[in-house]
A and B are shown apart, each in its own frame.
Chain A
Amino acid sequence: MATNLTRLLESSIRSTNAAAVQSSMRLFSNQQQQHQPEDDDEEFRVLNLRTIRQQARRREFKKEAVQPPRTKRMAVDQDWSAVWSGPRSFHPASVPLPLRQGYTERGAAAPSKYANAELMKIPNFLHLTPPAIRQQCEAIKKFCTPWPKGLETEAKWKRTFPLEVVTSDYCHSLPTIRNPEARRVKITLKLSDLQFDAHAKDKFLRLVGERFDRETGLLTFVTDRCPTRKQNYDYALYLLTACYHESFVTEPWEASKSEADMEQYLFERNQAKRSAEAILNWNASREEKVSPPSGYAESVEQLINEGENEYNIAKYKEEVLKLLKIAI
């Protein structure tokens, strides 16, 4: 047995270090070498003419022992947010979960997490676990101020803050932080929050044109002609201010507004009034003159401004009958 072992050691040395065989055999000579048939060179020895080539063989890259994945050393109650603190591609040796991902035919097990590129591709949210979010919220709480008292509902804050400014920020995956779209500024305001007299309101609405939405009563300015947001914001407020102030100015030419320039039919200024008065005051003296009733005036205005429809015509008929005191 002992000699067998010797042979074993010897042959292993022989295989690794062919040149040293001759000398190392001598070292084992204290025990009688027995004839070993399996080691006997029954074949002819090979004359190797290309020994140099063999010696210059590339040195085998010796791999260092790779340690086991560190998930094995992780405690069950570890602080996960310390392990996975920020966005990072998945790594199987750092995530102690038996994950699998991938499609396989015929019910075979999906590929495991090791060397699985699919798991590395999908953006994971391992850094945004609920405890981590809670911790982070706690940490940035010191930069927050409490919500002001008296502004709990939308109606309340709408009253105190009538003007809304809407701007947009864009976050791209780009080397640049600029986006041309970010310059747009939109301000909205309820028209009822501004104080006007009749002339000013009329003029203001003419000045703002399409920026006023009659249905909602909202006034909207969108500015994008300046390169930066700040400039656009200032410009929007300037527009609002300028239009407002301008609407109170009465220019001399405004007096020359003729009937053709009127944007809507006004009973007061028109022939209908005069005709109605003429009919009512037929042969009446100067003192007894009466003006047509307001109901009539309204129905005429409605008829002309809104156009003829069944209701308006009926109403007009009723008022005319009333005016002329004709009973049916």
Chain B
Amino acid sequence: MNFLKKVLPIAETQLNMANKSALHTSAVCCRVQSGRYRITTKRDRPLTYEMANPPHFIGHRKTWNSWNTSTLKDGLRPSQTAIEDVFIRKFITGTWHALVCSEIIIKRQHNTIRIAAIIRQAISPRKMYFLIGYTEELLSYWMQCPVTLEFQTVADKKDVVFKYI
């Protein structure tokens, strides 16, 4: 409603102007789509708890996926940290291909980075250990911080499904 109150005067002036000028089109500015999932007709789209709660519930029903100090007042390196987090997420989803069942949680404390996620038990533990060693080492070369992986494994992808829509 507040939004409408703000928009109304502008709309009025625009309407007045429309009498004179041509048609004006632009995207609807109040439409929010990201982080929301559409209901399927068969009601068979699996959602995790994270996906089931749209972004405006962050801080109420779910928490952040990145924990660091860059967003505090006078925090340093905010943009670099965000980019690095994106890099980590892409790297891990690619390296642990089709194995990651949850969002990748990145917690930074001082210069250590702890990465948590839920992993499917689809490859043998031996291969997982190889990937753990590889991921930790390569990411720490890249970030120049010690990186620790803290994974939890689940037997099946369905274990993380919260509901179907």
Contacts and interface: CB of A to CB of B under 8 A. Distances in A.
Interface of A: 61, 63-64, 66, 87-89, 91-93, 102-103, 111, 114-118, 120-123, 171-177, 179, 181
Nearest to A105: B163
A38 to B, nearest CB: 33
B122 to A, nearest CB: 7
A181 B67 CA distance: 22
B62 to A, nearest CB: 6
Place the interface of chain B in its size category. Answer: 35 or more
Nearest to A101: B49
A120 B162 CA distance: 16
A172 B117 CA distance: 23
A123 B152 contact: no
Among B49, B67, B143, B152, chain A packs the most CB atoms within 10 A around the CB of B152
Interface string B141-160: 00111000010101100011
B150 A120 contact: yes
Contacts, number: 103
Interface in B105-126: 105, 107-111, 114, 116-118, 121-125
Contacts of A102: 49, 61, 162
A173 B110 contact: yes
Contact of A173 (B50, B62, B108): B108
B62 A89 contact: no
A89 B103 CA distance: 14
B116 A120 contact: yes
A89 B150 contact: yes
Among A92, A103, A117, chain B packs the most CB atoms within 10 A around the CB of A117
A93 B154 CA distance: 11
B70 to A, nearest CB: 7
A181 B125 CA distance: 47
B145 A175 contact: yes
30 contacts: A63-B121, A64-B124, A64-B125, A66-B155, A87-B109, A89-B107, A89-B116, A92-B152, A102-B162, A114-B154, A114-B159, A115-B154, A117-B102, A117-B118, A118-B62, A120-B118, A120-B150, A120-B152, A121-B116, A123-B67, A173-B68, A173-B69, A173-B111, A174-B69, A174-B76, A175-B143, A175-B144, A176-B111, A179-B76, A181-B74
